[in-house]
Chains A and B, each alone.
Chain A
Amino acid sequence: MAALKETVAAVESIDVDAYKYGFSTDIESEKAPKGLNEDIVRFISAKKSEPQWLTDWRLEAYRRWLTMPEPKWARVHYPPIDYQDLYYYAAPKSTPGPKSLDDVDPELLRTYEKLGIPLREQEILAGVETRKVAVDAVFDSVSVATTFKEELAKAGVIFCPISEAVQTHPELVRKYLGSVVPATDNFYATLNSAVFSDGSFVYVPKGVRCPMELSTYFRINEQKTGQFERTLIIADEGAYVSYLEGCTAPKRDENQLHAAVVELVALDDAEIKYSTVQNWYPGDSEGRGGIYNFVTKRGDCRGRNSHISWTQVETGSAITWKYPSCILRGEGSQGEFYSIAVSNGYQQVDSGTKMLHLGKNTKSRIISKGISAGRSQNTYRGQVSAHRKADGARNFTQCDSLLIGHDCGAHTVPYIESKNPSAQFEHEATTSKISEDQLFYAMQRGLSEEEATALIVNGFVRDVLQQLPMEFAVEAQKLISISLEGSVG
């Protein structure tokens, strides 16, 4: 299944369609005034016609946020963010405008071209039957389209913008929202709780195997806009769902803030697979612009024998601060984290995972592959802990770093804590450099330096790519090659 391709193509078609209906960067969008205060929070809530409890929840988060310091422990450096200089709500406004592809950032178009994604209008949004990926697209702050809603509804699966779920399934949203990542969790998550504008909501009922991959595509378009999406996925007892997330943003001189929260809840015997290909704009070759990606992703293996698996391919963003984690609460539950983090230019990545073993016989597995090129810094930061009741907890961690060139850095910061004597934790880490011997060998056989690098890098990340749905893996592989272009020599 050409999951990513379909996702990106689908959203690209939204883009193209969007030009038809007139929203582009040049076209006016509906924005809340700049800055953040209680009125803005109320404005956002009112825009979404939210019930009082949610407005109150947001306001409480906002008040809490005012008292919180910005975290400084990550190995990332950036000038202070002026939170009053951002727009917290932007919605594309449909007004007739010029129908031209010329307004689309050519860099982005070239990227799609290289990915083999033709810029054609796809019928996906019309719901052509052969498509097997349901897409929810979030453009700036607003969810613009969700496909396949009916087919999913037949299976009993709810997949819709979270703003819609608040209206149509308030009891589910109220029960689970903030139950994995509390509104008070951390600076960025708390900010998100106050101002989140949209995101996806998924509920898979008892015993249902979701009949297709679900996919969300996020795009930041407006200038000086923060994007604060909120995703909530619940797999009820014995349910299964695979969810794919793709991200892009156009090129901007200024840094843009992205602070999302993703919450996953897996009940007894349920399984959630969450895959991300993150390709936010990383900044130019001098390090100007790019997305600041401060994301809180956490899964709660709440039920017995539940299973949550995170797979991420991170190639974009100027700064990545992201630790998709699993709370292994249910007895026999399992958490997995497979990650490829590529950094080039001046990118800074501080990413990893937390596996918190609370229940008996819980298992976790972490495979992290960091690739640093250019002048980038790439840090793996991970925590594995066993609660005193977590008898028989097991973890295996493997962190490999690959360096390309002489000016980049790779860092591994594992925290391992065990309060239970029967827990078994293993940690392996390697750091290597693409050797000149390897490059020359491959080039002598006819591969160009870039082809040779891509081949060697793909060998390095193979374990993780194997975790992705096949077509998705192919796209991810191409994306990695593109991200590393010009990194050698």
Chain B
Amino acid sequence: MLEIRNLHVSVGDRKILQGLTLSVKAGEVAAIMGPNGTGKSTLSYVISGREGYDITEGEVLLDGENILALEPHERAAKGVFLAFQYPVEIPGVATMTFLKAAMNAQRRARGEEELATPDFMKRVKDAAASLGVSQDMLRRPLNSGFSGGEKKRMDILQMALLQPKLGILDETDSGLDIDALRVVADGVNALRAPERAFVVITHYQRLLEYIKPDTVHVMAKGRIQRSGGPELALELEKHGYQEYLAEEAA
């Protein structure tokens, strides 16, 4: 489903991704682990189309189509969803208004009918209930004054409503206590499906106890250094990233 080939990305003079190659199949949960500052967040932004990154080489294919020339909202309509490390507050914009606008914008882009309000309300209500998102949160402006955990749950709620093809979780575990982490992980697990893939970016193994990955990729120095099964995560937890960094330095 997701094919990244020899991706080189710079910001200004700094080379961040240096020939990254990664393949994620439909139905697969791929974990990307690596030390801080290795370009993990850059990878998530480049896949989702954020401005400000200079892509000098390589391709990002979604179901065989290179999406690098597409605008972020066009990629979203094709099924790319990014759960942010720090979800953004948008003051004054009612959460429900935002959710409806987003869902209908994607539906329009795909040539589908817009949702009728009762149908929309029902979907939100069902998703909110399973994620412990309160009515009060839905009534407030988007993410405004939400705690870290509430913001993450709101992001997962959006993922549940938008039903993406590819979900990218960027350090979703950062700033979450264990209870909030469990709620978020349950939300993600509920969305696991044969036609959907996830890229789970994390620094720690902790999140992977709750979201069990099929594959684990070690990222360092702007590249995937090693790929393996879930056991690789445990190994990393024990030995850290030192060998990958050292290897590079040598």
Contact = CB atoms under 8 A, between A and B. Distances in A.
A179 interface: no
Nearest to A462: B92
A443 B106 CA distance: 10
Interface in A438-459: 438, 440-449, 451-452, 455-456, 458-459
A444 B92 contact: no
Contacts of A449: 71, 73
Contacts of A461: 92
B208 to A, nearest CB: 24
A460 B92 CA distance: 6
Closest 7 CB pairs of A and B: A459-B92, A459-B93, A445-B102, A446-B106, A443-B72, A441-B88, A446-B76
A437 interface: yes
A305 B94 CA distance: 35
Interface in B137-151: 141
A440 B51 contact: yes
- Find the residue from B71, B73, B141 having the highest chain A CB count within 10 A: B73
Interface in B73-94: 73, 76-77, 80-82, 84, 87-88, 90-94
A18 B51 CA distance: 50
Contacts of A446: 73, 76-77, 102-103, 105-106, 109, 162
A437 B109 contact: no
A436 interface: yes
Nearest to A451: B105
B131 to A, nearest CB: 17
Contact of B93 (A436, A444, A448, A458): A458
A447 B90 contact: no
B172 interface: no
A442 B162 contact: no
Given A455-B97, A455-B98, A447 B73 contact: yes
A444 to B, nearest CB: 5
A445 B162 contact: yes
A463 to B, nearest CB: 8
12 contacts: A437-B88, A441-B90, A443-B71, A443-B72, A445-B73, A445-B106, A446-B106, A446-B109, A448-B71, A448-B105, A458-B93, A461-B92
A444 B48 contact: yes
Given A442-B98, A455-B101, A448 B73 contact: yes
Contact of B141 (A437, A444, A459): A459
Given A444-B80, A446-B102, A451-B73, 19 more contacts: A436-B52, A440-B50, A442-B102, A443-B73, A444-B48, A444-B49, A444-B72, A444-B76, A444-B81, A444-B82, A445-B73, A446-B109, A449-B71, A455-B93, A458-B92, A458-B93, A459-B93, A460-B91, A461-B92
A435 B86 CA distance: 14
A451 B141 CA distance: 17
B158 interface: yes
Contacts of A444: 48-50, 72-73, 76, 80-82
B163 to A, nearest CB: 12
Contacts of B50: 440, 444
Contacts of B162: 445-446
Interface string B203-235: 000000000000000000000000000000000
Interface in A74-130: none
A462 B140 CA distance: 13
Nearest to B143: A441
A446 B49 CA distance: 12
A438 B88 contact: yes
Contact of B102 (A437, A447, A463): A447
Interface residues of B, number: 32
A463 B73 CA distance: 28
Given A447-B102, A448-B71, A459 B90 contact: yes
Contacts of B101: 447, 451, 455
Nearest to A440: B50
B77 to A, nearest CB: 6
A456 B72 contact: no
Contact of B91 (A442, A443, A459): A459
A459 B76 CA distance: 22
Contacts of B81: 444
Contacts of B90: 438, 441-442, 455-456, 459
A72 B51 CA distance: 43
Contacts of B109: 446
Interface string A419-445: 000000000000000011110111111
A462 B87 CA distance: 22
Nearest to B142: A459
B93 A443 contact: no
A145 B165 CA distance: 58
- Find the residue from B81, B91, B109, B162 having the highest chain A CB count within 10 A: B91
Interface in B22-72: 48-52, 71-72
Contacts of A437: 88
Nearest to B99: A445
Contacts of A452: 73
Interface in B144-202: 158, 162
Nearest to B141: A459
